[in-house]
Structure 1
Amino acid sequence: MQFDFDLKQRKRILETVFEKIENYYSSTKDFKTNPDLNIKEIRESILTKELAIGINPVKAIQHVIKGLENFSVHTPHPKYFGLFNPRSNYAGIIADLITATYNPQLAAWSHAPFAVEVEELLIKEFANKFGYNRNADGVFTTGGAEANLTAILCALNHKYSKFARDGAFGLDKKPVIFCSAEAHHSIQKAAKVVGLGYNLVKSIPTTNDLKLDTEVLLQEIKNLDTSVYSPLMIIGTAGTTGTGTIDQLNQLNYICKKYNIWFHVDAAYGGGAILSQDLKHNLSGIEKSDSITFDAHKWMSVPMGTSIFLTSKDDILGKTFRITTEYMPKEADKLTVTEPFTHSIQWSRRFIGLKVYLSLLFYGWQGYEQTINHQAKIGRYLKSQLLKNGWVIKNNTNLPVVCFTKNEFETDSNFTKKILNNILANGKSWLSIYPIKGISTFRACITNYNTTEKEIDELIDELNKEATLYAKQ
């Protein structure tokens, strides 16, 4: 069969792939951090006529590698200080290769019992790390957006016993979701997808330290017209995308318990702090939540699409997703196992958890704690060097996310815009801009375990040079 190739061809293909990815993996820092966004050139570089009959596999691989190297922001670069897109650790890369080769189907337990049990073990491990009891449940998801969507569905099925049958049409009142104005926009997207509409997501202003203002939240709950609306859930964020802020989780839990509201914590980024004895205290209160979103593809440095939804309610995933079919395998009917397709949004399921499992087998929890502590240390170094060089920091978090500017240019939005354009054009570093209380700031996040003080010093030099040139204009 031509899809398989023969042994000699397969070896040649794999050798080509290994040679190319090893060159990239070992010399990522030598690439420009970002490409020139010439859409015409990018589109013209993509082969189209060749799709009809195909081309030589080695040439095809070389073509794809060249495209990715020339036209990608290189998030694995040690001077990528952007969004939460880390360099993939090697175990995660190998795990993706293994998964693609064996291609286990995790919809039914009996089709992939080893893989399903690995993921079940990991769910219990993470639930324990976050402080949930032994009856906690959860599932691997394709991303934080799916996990947050799962949380909303669970909250609906918990509050409304007939929601699975009747959906939103069976509700006598409109469910309201409360979250910070700094919360991730996947919340609004999930509200749209589930059929509630984003108007039922109430964004609560933040305090001066950028945390959800609990006093305003309480007033919003008290002001609800209960003849029309009913509070469904409160979402606290542990590590906001913009500023790395962690909401007052204990206070949010108190409000949820007082008003019988589902408490969800979006810890997609900041949840990684739970793996560090030095940082885990920042997540105090998360153990009291009803559910948690956590992205392993952020601070755990595994390839994209590796997220986890956890819940302290051991029956809610079944209530939300359980369904019976005639065509699914029945071998596990008499076993004390959970069929994955009855437990999540996904039906056909990839072995997502292997990226985490193999990484833990390679590096252990101890290795992860060291890595996370290293990144936190580099974040502190970045703050200290910025302050030493006359920059002012505008956010306050123990996570390695730093938002900063110059006092004299706070009201000049062109300052950050002009300097960022120059830095990106140079291709030595990648960072972004984030507005805080009407002030445009630079945002730099330590996402790469290979980032050292050397890269920070180079970034500071680059920023200082650009700021000096700007001041002379």
Structure 2
Amino acid sequence: MSKDHAETGNLQPHLNKLGAALDNYLKFEHPDAYFSINEWQTKLDEALPQTGVGIDEVLKILTDTIIPNGSPVPNPGFTSFITTGATTASTLASTASSIASPQRYLRTAFNYVEELSLHWLAEMCGVKHLQGIYSSGGSVANLVALGGARQWAFEKQGHDPALHGIDRATRIYASHECHHTIQRSGGVLGLGRRAIKAIPCDAGGRMQTEPLVEAIESDLREGILPVAIVANAGSTNTGAIDPLSDIGKIAQQYQIWFHVDGAFGLPGILDERLADHYQGIEMADSVIVDPHKWLGASVGVAATFVRDREILNRAFTQEPADYLEGSAVDISEEKTKIEHSLDDFGIPYFDYGVELSAPCRGIVVWAMIKEIGVAGMRDRIVRHNDMAYRLADIARDHPKLELLDTPTLSICCFRYRAPEIKDLDQFNQRLHRQLIRENTYMPSTTRINGQLALRPCFVGARAEMYQVDGLVEAVIRIGDNLINN
């Protein structure tokens, strides 16, 4: 097909075929993609097409070759990393926006829902006093929040860092358990990765406040400018929640921006059993949460919340561009009124973060909350936490298992053990690789106080309690076989 006739047909029949292929994939009856890598890679490996094959052939390749050899991430037994497959509501909403509103701008229903969903998400997660903006993930969400912190810290010194750059040494305080995107944010923002000061944690992975105060006092004596204190509301490693209230008071005492990284764990606030762990969140100057983690959004949806988005405007605003400045009406002028969606860009998210082009992420969050409500989200969070708690109880009592960390959220760290095993770390590493290759239960590993642990993190909307028992049975069976063979 040499000419562009790709859009002359109807979407419906193609979507029906695509939906059927995806439904079949979600049965998870297929082997892992690597099992037949030579076959599908050979089919896909071709030179740049000079002549097109048409949409029907493209759809056939998608449904017959690419989708069946997709990622294990949506599998309910996948508990390796804090990511998951999208729920149906998320998939439908993102598909709708990709056609009906490719960008989040202009005065449309999608732009309106972008803001509405931010209000909903903030209220649901206990930070309704903050204003938000979506981005692609925790990496950018942390960058945006710390960009606001940098702007605020330097403005107090009478300097505009976004306009003039950095003119002195700075510091960001974060625990040893902070996500590595904090260091990357320091590098991107011109503060330097070495500006991140690692604060020791207690045995439970929570930031200790005494070393934090000591570090701040030492830096102040050296003339180093404190930019932010970063606390975890659910660390990536173990799900630990830092003492937010104590850290918030320290931030207030020293007038330092208080940032809470809740990319994974902030939705845990919906579990009423954990309410005390989140006390102090109201003191935060910025908070992030990734709906594409625990809430079931398609990957590429994160949110940054700050007290006043104007600080983000000053930190990230673009210089004027001829092709933009006259493209919308000036509603400040007398008698000017909006008569078309192109008359107004809507809420100017492009000045609150680092993305100009951006999809409508809010429609995804809106759809998920609208579908099951706060009550449905709470039930999911509680179920996942209960899965970790049940696994912890089993590991604590089982003679062949050992619990290495008591879970706070939906992460449980444990391992197989037996008296005849000389090197438990090496043994459990071997066990883990065999477990993964069975393609049914797929946790990751980590180290807890130097000891290697199996680390399932239950966040998938399709994850159910029965999978805990299945995981335990598989670990014990594989461990027994490794000992006996």
CA spacing shift, 1:68–1:128, aligned 2, 3 Å: same
Q: Partners of 2:68 and 2:46 in 1: how far apart?
A: 18
CA spacing shift, 1:82–1:271, aligned 2, 3 Å: same
Most deviating of 331-340 and 277-286? 331-340
Most deviating of 360-369 and 38-47? 38-47
Q: Partners of 1:55 and 1:224 in 2: how far apart?
A: 64
Q: Does 1:330 align with 2:328?
A: yes
Counterpart in 2 of 1:85?
A: 83
Q: Which amino acid aligns with 2:383?
A: H
Matches within 5 A, 1:54-453: 54-69=52-67, 71-107=69-105, 111-132=106-127, 134=129, 136-161=130-155, 162-168=160-166, 171=167, 173-224=168-219, 226-323=221-318, 324-328=320-324, 329-331=327-329, 333-334=331-332, 338-390=347-399, 391-406=401-416, 408=418, 411-453=423-465
Q: CA deviation at 1:260?
A: 1.2
SS at match of 1:265: strand
Does the aligned pair in 1 maintain the 2:392–2:406 contact within 8 Å? no
Most deviating of 57-66 and 241-250? 57-66
Q: Deviations over 1:396-438 (max 9, x none)?
A: 3321100112455595321121101111122221111101111
Q: Deviations over 1:223-274 (max 9, x none)?
A: 2264452211110011111111111111111111111111100000101113
Q: CA deviation at 1:386?
A: 2.5
CA spacing shift, 1:193–1:449, aligned 2, 3 Å: same
Q: Partners of 1:295 and 1:20 in 2: how far apart?
A: 28
CA spacing shift, 1:338–1:72, aligned 2, 3 Å: closer
Most deviating of 279-288 and 307-316? 279-288
Q: Deviations over 1:86-114 (max 9, x none)?
A: 2321110101110111134224xxx2432
Counterpart in 1 of 2:30?
A: 31
Identity %: 22
Does the aligned pair in 1 maintain the 2:104–2:114 contact within 8 Å? no
Q: CA deviation at 1:18?
A: 1.9
Q: Which amino acid aligns with 2:4?
A: Q
Does the aligned pair in 1 maintain the 2:6–2:55 contact within 8 Å? no
Q: Partners of 1:14 and 1:187 in 2: how far apart?
A: 40
**Number of residue pairs the alignment of both structures matches:** 462
Does the aligned pair in 1 maintain the 2:101–2:110 contact within 8 Å? no
SS at match of 1:160: helix
Aligned CA RMSD, in angstroms, stands at 2.5
Q: Partners of 2:387 and 2:294 in 1: how far apart?
A: 14
Does the aligned pair in 2 maintain the 1:245–1:396 contact within 8 Å? no
Q: Normalized against structure 2, the TM-score is what? A: 0.88
Unaligned runs of 5+ in 1: none
Q: Partners of 2:87 and 2:104 in 1: how far apart?
A: 24
Does the aligned pair in 1 maintain the 2:388–2:409 contact within 8 Å? yes
SS at match of 2:442: coil
Unaligned runs of 5+ in 2: 338-343
CA spacing shift, 1:306–1:332, aligned 2, 3 Å: farther
Q: Partners of 1:45 and 1:387 in 2: how far apart?
A: 49
SS at match of 2:165: helix
Runs of 4+ in structure 1 deviating by more than 6 angstroms, as ranges, are 37-42
Q: Deviations over 1:57-116 (max 9, x none)?
A: 333233334554554441111211211122321110101110111134224xxx243222
Q: Deviations over 1:179-223 (max 9, x none)?
A: 111111111111121222211111222111111122222222222
CA spacing shift, 1:51–1:213, aligned 2, 3 Å: farther
CA spacing shift, 1:275–1:467, aligned 2, 3 Å: same
Q: Partners of 2:215 and 2:65 in 1: how far apart?
A: 50
Q: Partners of 1:93 and 1:132 in 2: how far apart?
A: 26
SS at match of 1:432: strand
Counterpart in 2 of 1:51?
A: 49
Q: Normalized against structure 1, the TM-score is what? A: 0.90
